[in-house]
């Protein structure tokens, strides 16, 4: 049996304060509640409006937003379908944000998105870049899948299914700001 003392309580209070100061430093106005909906859909939409058939679509970047989901920083990137019968539908592409202490590895989705959009190896300071720096002003071919299970692998009701971008396959058109800055355009 472990006995806690006042020092343990004080250290846990400091940890919360430190998390809040890190959130403020990273531009997060306030840490999100853990019981909040983990994957917010694009604003003003319900799950049925983002439900499309699984497949490959051409998409364009709309916006990015940094959030805390389950206590982890995540970039919620929104894309818009720009061709076919689902023209204008918005799809979510959640990317785990890189932490300062961890360098980029090939397995991170944000690293794969950077490599797909720029054709370059990611820089060591990729954790400093917003996804809009390497995803905006471009058109991508993207693999889209339907989410039918929650984070605990339980089947969702049919009315709660939604579609999301699984991965970016290739850049079809445009030059991202990261490359245009390097090329001096």
Tens of pLDDT along 121-160?
Answer: 888 888 888 999 999 999 999 999 999 998 889 999 998 9
Q: What is the CA radius of gyration of the chain?
A: 19
Distance in angstroms (rounded) separating the CA atoms of residues 83 and 69: 31
Find the distance separating the first CA and the last CA of the chain, reported in whole Å: 65
pLDDT value at residue 8: 39
- Tell me the average pLDDT of the chain: 77
pTM: 0.69
Tens of pLDDT along 44-65?
Answer: 455 557 789 999 999 999 999 9
pLDDT value at residue 102: 67
pLDDT value at residue 167: 94
Cα–Cα nearest to 40, from 69, 79, 62:
69
pLDDT value at residue 185: 56
């Amino acid at each position: 049996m472990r006995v806690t003392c006042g020092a343990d309580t004080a250290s846990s209070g400091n940890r919360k304060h430190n998390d809040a100061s890190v959130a403020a430093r990273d531009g997060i106005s306030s840490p999100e509640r853990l019981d909040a909906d983990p994957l917010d859909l694009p604003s003003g939409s319900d799950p049925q409006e983002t439900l499309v058939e699984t497949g490959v679509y051409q998409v364009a970047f709309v916006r990015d937003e940094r959030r805390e989901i389950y206590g982890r920083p995540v970039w919620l990137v929104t894309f818009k379908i720009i061709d076919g019968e689902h023209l204008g539908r918005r799809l979510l592409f959640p990317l785990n944000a890189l932490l300062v202490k961890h360098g980029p590895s090939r397995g991170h989705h944000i690293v794969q998105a950077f490599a797909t959009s720029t054709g370059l190896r990611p820089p060591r300071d990729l954790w400093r870049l917003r996804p809009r720096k390497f995803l905006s002003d471009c058109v991508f071919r993207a693999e889209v899948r339907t989410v039918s299970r929650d984070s605990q692998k339980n089947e969702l009701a049919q009315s709660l299914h939604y579609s999301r971008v699984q991965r970016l396959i290739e850049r079809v058109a445009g030059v991202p700001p990261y490359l245009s800055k390097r090329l001096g355009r």
